[in-house]
Amino acid sequence: MAAWLSWLERLVHIEEATGSSPVAATIISFMLVTTHGLLGALIGKEVGFPPLAFLLGFISHFLLDSIPHCDGPDDVAGRDENDPNTKAQYALVSFDLLLSLIIVIYFLNAKLATPAMIWGAIGALLPDLIDNVPLWKKKIRKLAFFKDFHAFHAKIQSIKTSIWFGLSIQYALAIFFFCLIYLL
């Protein structure tokens, strides 16, 4: 992992992006998609009932986010969410989304995916989809409920680690969850 991140830093030179696209991912304060999705899928596999998998996946999101972590070069405590993201952050998010897609395709092709696994993963990803998607996050956070939801979501993940340690934790968890899905 450290070697990959070192390569990533050299590739993009951790330069600030000169502008930000309205559809570009804003990756402030959330654990990686791969980690959340795999835990949700694991929960779904174990409970086997889609509505319960969805609910437990949703709850698992906050449990994972409460683990001190770092989501990349732009994930620092106190950083203004409107600051531009670095190219390194975009590269990391692209890698994470691609890895998640590859895992989904693998599970579907290997016929390992069940409806409960899919609903568990959706539940686990939903808090970030509600709170962090640039297309609607500013509008939705103006509503009282979602403003409070965002405050809670940000508060539970206020302890940040170094990029190396934080990403290592997340990918170690992702590998562990993947192995459990495959082996159980």
Render 88-120 in DSSP notation, one character per residue.
Answer: HHHHHHHHHHHHHHHHHHHHHHTT---HHHHHH
Residue 11 lies in a domain: no
pTM over 0.85: no
126 confidence band (pLDDT: 50, 70, 90): very high
Residue 14: the pLDDT is 30
Distance, CA of 173 to CA of 17 (rounded, Å): 30
Residue 22 lies in a domain: no
Q: Is 94's pLDDT higher than 80?
A: yes
Residue 71 lies in a domain: yes
Residues 6+ away with beta carbon under 8 Å from 167: 1, 5, 32, 69, 70, 71, 72, 92
Residue 129 lies in a domain: yes
What domain range is 66 assigned to? 2-6+28-183
Q: How many domains does the chain have?
A: 1
In this predicted model, which residue has the larger pLDDT, 110 or 29? 110
Q: What is the pLDDT of residues 10-54, one digit of tens each?
A: 333 333 333 433 333 333 334 789 999 999 999 999 999 999 999
Residue 56 lies in a domain: yes
Q: Is 6's pLDDT higher than 60?
A: no
108-119 mean pLDDT: 95
Residue 19 lies in a domain: no
Residue 53 lies in a domain: yes
Residue 15 lies in a domain: no
